[in-house]
Each structure stands twice: as C-alpha cells, then as structure tokens.
A and B are shown apart, each in its own frame.
Chain A
Amino acid sequence: MAQKAVELILMRQLASCLAVPVFLVDPEGTLLYYNEPAERLLGRRYDETGEMPASEWGTMFTPTAEDGSPLPADELALSVALRKWHPAHRGLIIRSLDGVTRRLAVTAFPLEGQGGRRLGAVAIFWEERPS
C-alpha cells in the first residue's frame, strides 16, 4: 500500500483532533479517513469501514436533497469539489448506518499540494437541528 502524501497525513492528524466532523478522500474520491465526530453522524466507526471507493460511500448513506429528491453521488459536495477542483457547499439528508435520518450541511474543498499535486478533498459536516 503506497504511503500517503504528508499533506494527507497532516490533514488526518488535524481532523483527529477536531470536534467538527471531517471526511477525507483521495483524488479518485476513495474514502481515506473520517474522524470520531463524523463517526457519530454516519453511524459507524472508521475502523469498521476502512478505506472505501466513492461508488460505495456515495450511496451507502442514501443521500437525498433537502426537498427529499434523490441525490446522485456525483452531486455530493465532495464529488463536486473533486470534479470542479473548487470549494462546494450543499445541504442534504442522509440515513446514517445506525438508522437515524440526519439533515446536514456539507462544505468540501480540494487539497492541492506543492507543485499543483492533486491530493484529494476534505468535507466538513454540520448537523442542522431544528431551532
């Protein structure tokens, strides 16, 4: 297994220290890591899922748009950030693996290393609660 770029390692280390849910993917969209706060939102520990291709994680949480219409995987904020190489933000609803339906706001941004190396993308989640 190839070693991760140090920027990804540092991003994971930062995420592991944050209280904000963070999701980290490589340039192909493969899930590399999510932190403990994200585990609570997604309903499963990272140690149980491990690395996972985009085709798998993009659908396993059955994401829908805020109006309840289906949300294709390539319209998720992370997918848009990778495809357009530009920050992206959107609201969505997921069904976590613990069976709980959650309304989230997600902001994703690309990770670009020195020399223009495309390393992946990061998503920060926020659970929207009724005020």
Chain B
Amino acid sequence: MRLTLWGTRGSVAAAGPETVRYGGNTSCVEVRAADGSVLVLDAGTGVRRLGAALRGETGRVDVVLTHLHMDHIQGLGFFAPFFEQDREVHVWGPPSTTQALRERLTRYLSPPLFPVRLRELPCRLILHDVPLEWFEIGPFRVNAALVCHPGPTVGYRIAADGATIAYLPDHEPALGIGSMPAAPDWISGFDLATDADVLIHDAQYSVAEYVEHVGWGHSALTHTLAFATATDVRCLVTFHHDPEHDDDTLTRLLEEARAGAAFPFEIVPGTEGLSIDLSDPARSVSIAGAR
C-alpha cells in the first residue's frame, strides 16, 4: 500500500509562495494497493491533480469522503474520472438523518454554484452512505466511525497488503476534555487509530490558536501528538494545516513541539506530493518525497 498526499491544507486552499513547501491544496490523499486499486480520501482541491494523474487508467475509482465541508469536496467538479465515459466512480459519504448523499452533493454540483449537474456527469457514478462498521472496497478493508467534528463526520481506518492507515483529517478529540489524553475508551477516534502504521491527523492550530477555536472541530498540534502517543501509532502525518500558517510557521510549530520531547513514533509534516510506501516487509515507513 502506498499513500500520496495531494492536498494537506485545511479550511480553504492557500496557494502562494509562502505555502509552496507544504502545499496549498485542501484535503486529498491517494491510497494505492499493491494490485493497483485506488482509494481517494476526500476530494479537496488536491483531487484535481490526482485526477489528472489517473488519466489513462481505466479501473474503478472510489472516493471516500469524511464529511461534506467545502474544503473536502471542492475538487469533485474537477476530478477527471468524473468526465470519462464508462469510468466507474464510487463516492462514499457519511450518512445523514435528513438527506441522501446525492441531494447533499447536488447542492454544490449544480447551478448556480457549478455549471455541471451531478446527473450529467458521463462516468458511471454510484453513491453510497458509508456503513459505520467494517466494509470492503476491493482489496481494502475499511472501518468508518463518527468522530468529533461539527456535522456528520467520519474518520477511516484502512487495511490492505498487511498495513493499516488511519485518516482523521478533521478531528477535535480534546473537546471538553480537561487534560488530553483521557481514558482510551472516552477518546473520539481511538479505535480507528490505535496501532496504525500511519496516522494522518488534523494538526491545524497552535495551542494559543486552539484556545480561540474550541469547538471548531480541529486540533492543536500538541493534542495531535498526545492522540498519536495514546493510540500507539508508528508514524504521524500532520495534516489540515491552517491556511494562515505559512511554511516557516509550520516548520517552527513542529520544531517547538518536538523540542525536548521524545515521541515513540515518526513525525512527518503533511507535505503536498509526499508519498509513503508501506510495502516494506518490515513495515518500516519510507518517505519518497515526490514533490
């Protein structure tokens, strides 16, 4: 299994010279199994470049959404496989108690917000409510569970080829907890992340910023590090960078968090274009850094 980060920014795309190192596109991660099957985690603006990279491939593509906030779906209308005749595209989204996934996505993918209607896409589009349990997509075993973030939002645990990743891009496990971490069974997302080879997790704020944004559904970097420690992961990828954080700020925040602390896992700053190959038999994490 190989991960490639196509968008690591949170909230809104932040393109510019000040974000060129870590990237400005919003959430999108490609997960590719050894047999070539592709899972796309979220469809932020990063999914446009991923779609271009998939041109020439003909296999089924599954886009798995954590939630329908704009920074996680904005790239859908620019995802090349949507416009390929006979390409089979499955989109999975968290269930709602009031509206089907098609209705909710159509609010964006229809005029006046977008010129092309969902029903007009030439691909063979199949929409699914994500089961809140283990299910299978090709070679991937996927577990979805609701996590702490405003609105119906799920995190994912994905297993394939003997490796496991956890993806919680928008997550505030510290909400209302006096000290993080709490008892494991009272930590949102704990079962999804525990013992994962790679955890991709929200790390939007500094501690000072978090205090000003409690309840917004995101984590301070220190909370992310505490969550990764509690869940005993092997590698943490920081993700959903605040659009106000330029490259130097992100580097500084990570260096400050690392200073004087020894973490029992590797810390990888979420960087657009970066790949992590989990195919090593020893499951050591290798970083290709293909930017």
Pairwise interchain contact A13-B95, C-beta atoms closer than 8 A: no
Q: Are A114 and B176 in contact (CB under 8 A)?
A: no
A contact patch SS: helix
A14–chain B nearest beta-carbon distance, Å: 7
Do A6 and B185 touch (CB < 8 A)?
Answer: no
**Are A114 and B185 interface neighbours, CB within 8 A?**
no
Interface-centre pick from B132, B148, B186 (highest chain A CB count, 10 A) = B186
Please name the residue on chain A nearest to B177 by beta carbon.
Answer: A13
Q: Residues of A contacting B188 with CB < 8 Å?
A: 6, 9
A5 an interface residue at 8 Å Cβ cutoff?
A: yes
Bound Cα distance from A17 to B176, whole angstroms: 7
Interface residue ranges of A1-34 to B (CB < 8 Å) = 1-7, 9-10, 12-14, 16-17
Contact residues in A for B191 (Cβ distance below 8 Å): 2-3
- Chain B's closest residue to A8 (CB) is B186
What's the dominant secondary structure at chain B's contact region? loop
Q: Which residue from chain A places its CB closest to the CB of B96 in the assembled complex?
A: A114
CB within 8 Å of A: which B175-208 residues = 175-178, 184-188, 190-191
CB distance from A22 to the nearest CB of B (A): 13
Let me know if B97 is at the binding interface, CB within 8 A.
Answer: yes
In the complex, whether A130 has a CB less than 8 A from a CB of chain B is: no
Take A1-B184, A114-B95 as given contacts and tell me if A6 and B176 are in contact as well, using a CB distance cutoff of 8 Å: no
Q: Does A68 reach chain B (CB closer than 8 Å)?
A: no
B29 to chain A, nearest CB (A): 22
Report the interface size for chain A: residues with CB under 8 A from the other chain.
18
Q: Are A3 and B187 in contact (CB under 8 A)?
A: yes
Q: What bracket does the count of chain B residues touching chain A fall in?
A: 20 to 34
Smallest CB gap from B145: residue in A: A6
- Contacting residue for B185 out of A1, A7, A16, CB 8 A: A1
> Is A9 within 8 A of B184, CB to CB?
no
**Complex interface: chain B residues within 8 A of A2 (CB):** 185, 191
Report whether B186 and A114 are in contact in the complex, using a CB–CB cutoff of 8 Å.
no
B61 in contact (CB, < 8 A): no
Cβ-based interface call for B278 (8 A): no
On whether the beta carbons of B175 and A13 are closer than 8 Å, the reply is yes
**Contact partner, B186, options A4, A14, A17, A115, Cβ 8 Å:** A4
B177 contact set on A, CB distance < 8 A: 13
Residues on B facing A (Cβ under 8 Å): 95-97, 132, 145-148, 152, 175-178, 184-188, 190-191
Q: Give chain A's interface residues, CB within 8 Å of chain B.
A: 1-7, 9-10, 12-14, 16-17, 113-115, 117
Question: 8 closest A-B pairs (Cβ-Cβ)?
Answer: A13-B176, A3-B191, A6-B146, A1-B185, A3-B190, A3-B185, A6-B188, A9-B188
- A sample of 18 inter-chain contacts (CB < 8 A) reads A1-B184, A1-B185, A2-B185, A3-B185, A3-B187, A3-B190, A3-B191, A6-B188, A9-B148, A9-B187, A10-B175, A13-B176, A14-B176, A114-B95, A114-B96, A114-B132, A115-B132, A117-B132
Given A9-B148, A17-B176, 20 more A-B residue pairs with CB atoms under 8 Å apart are A2-B185, A3-B186, A3-B190, A3-B191, A4-B186, A5-B146, A6-B146, A6-B147, A6-B188, A7-B146, A10-B148, A13-B175, A14-B176, A16-B178, A113-B146, A114-B96, A114-B97, A114-B146, A114-B152, A115-B95
